[in-house]
Amino acid sequence: MAKIQAPVHKNEILDVEFEDLTHEGHAVAKVEGYPLFVQGALPEETGRIQVTKVNKGYGFGRLMETTKRSPYRVDVPKSEMHKYGGTQLSHISYEGQLKFKEKQVRDVMTRIGKLGDVPVHPVLGMENPWHYRNKAQVPVGEKNGQLISGFFKPRSHEIIDTNESLIQIAEINEAVQAVKEICNELHIQAYDETAHKGTLRHIVARYGKATGELMVVIVTRSSKLPQQEQLVEKIVNRLPKVKSIVHNINSKRTNVIMGEENRVLWGEPVIHDYIGDIKFAISARSFYQVNPDQTKVLYEKALEYAGLSGDETVIDAYCGIGTISLFLAQQAKKVYGVEIVPQAIEDAKQNAELNGITNVEFEVGEAETVIPNWYKQGIKADVLVVDPPRKGCDEALLQTIIDMKPKKVVYVSCNPGTLARDLRILEDGGYETAEVQPVDMFPMTGHVECVSQIVLKNS
């Protein structure tokens, strides 16, 4: 498709009509077919904007005034937190957010998957869509000789100093604030990214909502942690829920938050949490879903779609620390999990042991390599679950599914676009998408998770 020459110029002021909302929460206005992305506006609104950036095929604008309001608009304080602090959709009522997410899923099913008829259910949302995250990773900087921490302004390395995130669990906000204050009291230096000097890089807090166990991770550049004893003592005194204090060393020039080396400074190396009846041990670096309430909703739906009777062999591809595998193992004969990160598989095995679950086997490797090997060895799934990263399933894996012919495929996806693409491939290979259930794992953000049931035709 030929790129449209921009019909607008920088700083131009325009009156526009907004049509759509992207998953980043930008509204889209079209000028002679040229899309302009505008933060803070909503579909079906009209407004006045100033063009801020003009690229070849698209541009950006700043909302100056709304001239027609969407019924879903809610008033929020004009703050950087509402604009950037992980709450890009906070100007939309929660009901409106769920509607927009449902529409987003429907649109890609039709446009990308050519699946206009597939039933897409209304999004399963939260009763209280605030303060749901069980984890924070907060960058630390310095301003006027004081430590500051909060979030990066988008596309910059400027830290906005905040103590309260609207989407983090209260215990997490308290923990981050307390650790920041303590480090200030002890005059611990912040890490300076440009000079690659200084000490404190990030404060990380994780919380097991079902157990009330708190973990604090102090990430530093240097392997020495100044005033370690006082630091630990103050944290333990000020945060009674803390069960684990870990020092993580990250001496590299990198955007990656944690380094390889962990030292337990106090307490346990892990905290625990439950999803349903399954207990999980969470270490400083393990992957764990950030919204525990909605994770349960998502996994219960996956279990329902798997429709297990106790006799089935199940494969869980992209299994992470075995969360879905262990959930399914309660109702299956045998579950095989595969995952590319070796540490995650270690965690998965330990979690199986922690719960006394013995009908699971985990293997490290690429799903698209390991599952064809299993198939050659005679392991054939009745139900196959996939939960890939944003880029979706590898084609080789989809082809193996088509050859193996499990009766059901349960597809958990954090990207509706690649889900729709992969559903089309499965449909062309003899499957039918029975239903798609979006689940709101990340209220106030544009992200939407889906679980869908796909059945083998003529089986």
Binding site for ligand SAH (CB under 6 A): 287, 289, 318-320, 323-324, 338-341, 344, 366-368, 387-389, 394
| Spatial distance between the Cα atoms of 452 and 247, rounded to a whole number of angstroms | 40
Q: Pick the closest to residue 202 from 132, 270, 250, 272 (CA basis).
A: 250
Q: Which is nearer to ligand SAH, 213 or 339 (CB)?
A: 339
Q: Which is nearer to ligand SAH, 153 or 334 (CB)?
A: 334
Q: Which is nearer to ligand SAH, 245 or 370 (CB)?
A: 370
Q: How far is the CB of 105 from ligand SAH (least distance, A)?
A: 19
267: tokens are: 């307490």
* Marked catalytic residue, from 183, 393, 414, 450: 414
Q: How far is the CB of 287 from ligand SAH (least distance, A)?
A: 6
Checking 192-199 for CB contacts under 8 A at 24+ apart, the result is 192/142, 193/157, 196/221, 196/253, 197/221, 198/142, 199/225, 199/226
DSSP 3-state of 366 = coil
Checking 178-185 for CB contacts under 8 A at 24+ apart, the result is 178/235, 178/238, 178/239, 179/203, 179/205, 179/216, 179/218, 179/235, 180/138, 180/140, 180/147, 180/148, 180/149, 182/231, 182/234, 182/235, 182/238, 183/140, 183/147, 183/231, 184/146, 184/147, 185/234
Known catalytic membership, residue 319? no
Q: How far is the CB of 364 from ligand SAH (least distance, A)?
A: 9
Q: Which is nearer to ligand SAH, 174 or 339 (CB)?
A: 339
322: tokens are: 């075995």
Q: Which is nearer to ligand SAH, 264 or 340 (CB)?
A: 340
| Spatial distance between the Cα atoms of 70 and 230, rounded to a whole number of angstroms | 53
240: tokens are: 């009674």
Q: How far is the CB of 384 from ligand SAH (least distance, A)?
A: 13
| Catalytic (active-site) positions | 414
